[in-house]
């Protein structure tokens, strides 16, 4: 009798282990493999059968700085890296400022039409960004802004705003109303109460919201691909241009991919618990 | 002098009063956001609607010609555009179905308590957070027909090497990458839903002797149905507009076998310089997305009310 129950338990344990192993292999392997590839020398990279054990080298990262990704004279990856960083940080900061103000207004000041406005903002969020690429290209072109950082920062900021407002709205609504009322009784203005009392309390929510603006700009290819050509190119654009069939540049490719992944992973772990809320903003409860 | 000073002060006071009371401050704080949305999102949207009615090539801007709904007609009669619409629906349908099934299964597994559970939850977040470009590049290495890991594993198992990005398998491969990257999203929200389920109901069912299979079909599944619908809405919306992974992996080829609407729009606009066709394709994508999403949302609303 005891035997059967124990067998059953052991069987379930084995099943659980196998399931988990399969998930880890499937989910994590491609990423781990690209990181490993970035640490291989040019012989190991293309070795067949593929090598799991090899002497790691940082050559590929060094090459990124000196000769870039094409192996031609296009030059260092430094400029696209700085472009990506600048476009991401500026658009995130702008979007968060605008969204905090708007989110607070909708959550607490509740002007007339605030319900309709929230729905409208949600509707805007449903818009596929790819449909805005063509008209944005034409507009930026006629404004003479092609291949400048402004041409991508502006759409990144605007595209981040709808989700950011929704998220900040939900964080502000969760804060107790008595806090600002107390501040106002103490002689603070409405805006002063928002600035000095509410905003600091919403800081964790702010951080969680910021990561989505950050990811949108840092990972974007759709807008940067047509809007930037040489001076303002970002990392995704450079990476997408590599012809990987030959395999010569796999090491550098892996290095760029790893470089693009690191900041996002760090931010993600920092705000992990708010992510579900953000992902379902507007539909889930 | 004094008078004007007083006038200024009251004007200022009035402004301040307006800002402090009523909706003044509220609209003042909302203004930057609404302005950005209007200028950067809505104006281009309207502009693209206008462009879609013209024959317009940005390299020859003076040869703009009004075509009415001509571009839309062309989309529905041109075999390539029709193919791209069909591919889009196929890609979205298959990807979302697989994501929902796999995502739910993984969520059920992670809902059990075992050691290393937290670590697992972190692991499955990884594909979702990396850039689509990075995801596509990672798989590009694995798909390589000569030195790729995927073919190596298949050879180990005794199978023949495959051309993963060839005409026959390209769509399958692109769907595989999509499912890989976005199954975690479904897992994550289903898991959140599972943890919100009332414990008493589940325990009562166990006491009644229901086995795991029946418990899932008769209790768990109906309870998480609204959450599955949320996942369905979001994943459908996002797979219909797919661009980046397909662009990086295949560019829509070979022989247009992975040409989806997103890639078609981009190619038509920036390779063939046909902005009229590209914007009409865009609007068809918007309308199709809206119809499907609103349909699901209607189901969701009915589900949560009843």
Q: Which chain A residues contact residue B132 at CB under 8 A?
A: 219, 221
Residue A285 has pLDDT above 60, yes or no: no
Nearest to A265 among B106, B129, B152 (CB): B129
Token digits of residue A246: 């030959």
A137 contact B CB<8A = yes
**Rounded Cα distance, B122 and B179, in Å:** 18
**Rounded Cα distance, A225 and A239, in Å:** 11
Query: In the predicted model, what is the mean pLDDT of residues A193-213?
Result: 86
Residue B43 has pLDDT above 80, yes or no: yes
- Residues 6 or more apart whose Cβ sits within 8 Å of residue A246: none
Residue A280 has pLDDT above 60, yes or no: no
> Considering only alpha carbons, which residue of chain B is nearest residue A98?
B33
**Rounded Cα distance, B86 and B165, in Å:** 19
**Rounded Cα distance, B56 and B61, in Å:** 7
**Rounded Cα distance, B162 and B115, in Å:** 38
Higher pLDDT, A189 or A37: A37
Residue B230: C-alpha distances to residues A56, A206, A222, A252, B304 (Å): 44, 24, 26, 39, 11
CA atoms in the 13 A half-sphere facing the CB of B253 = 5
Q: How far is CA A139 from the centre of its chain?
A: 26
Token digits of residue A2: 């005891």
- What's the confidence (pLDDT) of residue A28? 85
Residue A283 has pLDDT above 50, yes or no: no
How big is the CA angle at A32 (ends A26 and A37), to the nearest 5 degrees? Answer: 130
Cβ neighbourhood burial of A104 (10 Å; 0-12, 13-18, 19+):
buried
Q: How large a percentage of chain A has pLDDT more than 70?
A: 89
Give B104's pLDDT tier (boundaries 50, 70, 90): very high
Are the beta carbons of B120 and A28 separated by less than 8 Å?
no
Residue A246 has pLDDT above 70, yes or no: no
Q: Helices B170-195 and B79-111: crossing angle, nearest 10°?
A: 40
Sign of the alpha-carbon torsion through A231, A233, A239, A243: negative
Give B13's pLDDT tier (boundaries 50, 70, 90): low
Mean pLDDT, chain B, whole residue set = 87
| B68 to chain A, closest Cα gap in Å | 18
pLDDT digits (tens, 9 = 90+) for B258-294: 999 999 999 999 999 999 999 999 999 999 999 998 8
Pairing of strands B54-55, B65-66: antiparallel
Nearest to B243 among A24, A130, A245 (CB): A130
Token digits of residue A91: 């658009």
Give bridge partners of residue B66 from the DSSP assignment: B54
Nearest to B33 among A34, A98, A128 (CB): A98
Backbone angles phi, psi at A57, to 5 degrees: -140, 155
Q: Are A253 and A235 in contact (CB under 8 A)?
A: no
Residue A18 has pLDDT above 50, yes or no: yes
> Considering only alpha carbons, which residue of chain A is nearest residue B37?
A158
Nearest to B189 among A155, A161, A280 (CB): A280
A166 contact B CB<8A = no
Backbone angles phi, psi at B254, to 5 degrees: -75, 145
Query: In the predicted model, what is the mean pLDDT of residues A245-259?
Result: 81
Q: How many CB atoms lie within 10 A of CB B179?
A: 22
Q: Which residues, numbered 62 to 91 in chain A, qualify as contacts with chain B under a Cβ-Cβ cut-off of 8 Å?
A: none
Query: In the predicted model, what is the mean pLDDT of residues B249-254?
Result: 90
Give A284's pLDDT tier (boundaries 50, 70, 90): very low
- What's the confidence (pLDDT) of residue A275? 63
Nearest to A135 among B47, B149, B234 (CB): B47
Higher pLDDT, A118 or B20: A118
Query: In the predicted model, what is the mean pLDDT of residues A233-248?
Result: 80
Are the beta carbons of B139 and A219 separated by less than 8 Å?
no
Q: Are B279 and B49 in contact (CB under 8 A)?
A: yes
Q: How many CB atoms lie within 10 A of CB A232?
A: 23
CA atoms in the 13 A half-sphere facing the CB of A144 = 0
The model's pTM: 0.89
Q: How large a percentage of chain B has pLDDT more than 90?
A: 51
Give bridge partners of residue B54 from the DSSP assignment: B66
Give B34's pLDDT tier (boundaries 50, 70, 90): very high
Q: How large a percentage of chain A has pLDDT more than 90?
A: 34
Query: In the predicted model, what is the mean pLDDT of residues B18-36?
Result: 82
Q: Which chain A residues contact residue B240 at CB under 8 A?
A: 128
- What's the confidence (pLDDT) of residue A22? 86
Query: In the predicted model, what is the mean pLDDT of residues A79-98?
Result: 95
- What's the confidence (pLDDT) of residue A276? 58
Q: Are A181 and A109 in contact (CB under 8 A)?
A: no
Are the beta carbons of A257 and B137 separated by less than 8 Å?
yes
pLDDT digits (tens, 9 = 90+) for B116-156: 787 788 778 788 888 899 999 999 989 988 888 899 999 99
Q: How far is CA B91 from the centre of its chain?
A: 12
Q: How many CB atoms lie within 10 A of CB B52?
A: 26
Residue written as tokens 């997103």?
A: B262
Are the beta carbons of B33 and A161 separated by less than 8 Å?
yes
pLDDT digits (tens, 9 = 90+) for B209-237: 777 788 888 888 888 888 899 899 999 99
Q: Are B109 and A20 in contact (CB under 8 A)?
A: yes
Query: In the predicted model, what is the mean pLDDT of residues B91-114?
Result: 92
Residue written as tokens 């499907």?
A: B292
Coil, helix or strand at residue B226: helix
Residue written as tokens 């579900």?
A: A276
B64 contact A CB<8A = no
- What's the confidence (pLDDT) of residue B169? 93
Q: Are A171 and A202 in contact (CB under 8 A)?
A: yes
A150 contact B CB<8A = no
Residue A277 has pLDDT above 80, yes or no: no
Query: In the predicted model, what is the mean pLDDT of residues A249-268?
Result: 84
When mean pLDDT is compared across A32-36, A62-66, A204-208, A274-278, the lowest value belongs to A274-278
Q: Are B98 and B186 in contact (CB under 8 A)?
A: no
Length, in residues, of chain B? 306
pLDDT digits (tens, 9 = 90+) for A209-231: 888 899 899 999 999 999 998 88
Query: In the predicted model, what is the mean pLDDT of residues A115-134?
Result: 91
Query: In the predicted model, what is the mean pLDDT of residues B86-115?
Result: 93
> Is the ipTM beyond the 0.90 threshold?
no
């Amino acid at each position: 009798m005891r035997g059967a129950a124990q067998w059953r338990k052991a069987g379930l344990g084995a099943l659980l282990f196998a399931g988990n192993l399969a998930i880890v292999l499937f989910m994590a392997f491609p990423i781990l493999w690209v990181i490993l590839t970035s640490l291989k020398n040019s012989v190991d990279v293309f070795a067949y059968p593929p090598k799991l054990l090899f002497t790691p080298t940082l050559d590929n990262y060094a090459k990124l700085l000196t000769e870039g990704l094409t192996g031609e004279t296009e030059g260092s990856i430094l400029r696209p890296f700085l472009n990506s960083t600048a476009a991401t940080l500026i658009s995130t900061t702008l979007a968060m400022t605008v969204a905090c103000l708007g989110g607070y207004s909708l959550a607490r000041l509740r002007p007339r039409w605030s319900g309709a406005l929230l729905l409208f903002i949600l509707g805007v969020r449903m818009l596929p960004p790819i449909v805005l690429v063509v008209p944005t290209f034409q507009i930026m072109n006629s404004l003479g802004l092609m291949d400048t950082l402004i041409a991508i920062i502006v759409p990144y900021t605007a595209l981040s705003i709808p989700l950011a407002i929704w998220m900040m709205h939900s964080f502000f609504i969760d804060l107790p109303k008595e806090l600002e009322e107390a501040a106002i009784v103490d002689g603070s203005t409405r805006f002063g109460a928002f600035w000095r009392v509410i905003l600091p309390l919403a800081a964790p929510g702010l951080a969680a919201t910021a990561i989505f603006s950050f990811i949108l700009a840092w990972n974007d290819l759709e807008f940067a691909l047509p809007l930037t050509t040489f001076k303002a190119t970002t990392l995704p654009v450079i990476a997408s241009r590599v012809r990987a069939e030959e395999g010569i540049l796999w090491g550098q490719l892996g290095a760029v991919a790893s470089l693009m992944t690191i900041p996002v992973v760090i931010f993600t772990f920092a705000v992990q618990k708010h992510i579900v809320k953000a992902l379902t903003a507007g539909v889930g409860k | 002098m004094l008078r004007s000073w007083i006038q200024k002060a009251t004007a200022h006071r009035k402004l301040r009063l307006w800002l402090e009371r009523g909706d003044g401050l509220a609209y003042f704080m909302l203004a930057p956001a609404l302005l950005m949305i209007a200028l950067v999102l809505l104006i281009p949207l309207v502009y693209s609607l206008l462009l879609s009615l013209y024959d317009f090539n940005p390299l020859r801007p003076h040869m703009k010609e009004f075509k009415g709904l001509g571009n839309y007609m062309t989309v529905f009669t041109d075999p390539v555009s029709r193919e791209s619409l069909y591919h889009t629906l196929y890609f979205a349908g298959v990807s979302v179905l697989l994501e929902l099934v796999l995502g739910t299964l993984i969520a059920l597994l992670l809902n059990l308590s075992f050691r290393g559970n937290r670590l697992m939850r972190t692991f499955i977040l990884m594909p979702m957070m990396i850039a689509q470009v990075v995801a596509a590049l990672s798989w590009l290495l694995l798909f390589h027909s000569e030195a790729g890991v995927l073919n190596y594993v298949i050879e180990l198992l005794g199978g023949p090497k495959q051309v993963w990005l060839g005409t026959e398998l390209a769509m399958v491969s692109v769907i595989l990458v999509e499912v890989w990257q976005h199954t975690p999203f479904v897992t994550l929200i289903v898991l959140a839903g599972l943890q919100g389920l009332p414990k008493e109901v589940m325990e009562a069912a166990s006491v009644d002797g229901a086995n795991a299979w029946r418990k899932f079909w008769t209790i768990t599944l109906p309870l998480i149905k609204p959450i599955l619908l949320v996942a369905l809405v979001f994943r459908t919306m996002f797979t219909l507009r797919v661009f980046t992974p397909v662009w990086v992996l295949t560019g829509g080829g070979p022989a247009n076998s992975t040409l989806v609407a997103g890639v078609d729009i981009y190619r038509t606009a920036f390779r063939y310089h046909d902005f009229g066709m590209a914007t009409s394709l865009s609007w068809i994508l918007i309308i199709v997305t809206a119809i499907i999403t609103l349909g699901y949302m209607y189901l969701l609303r009915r589900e949560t009310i009843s």
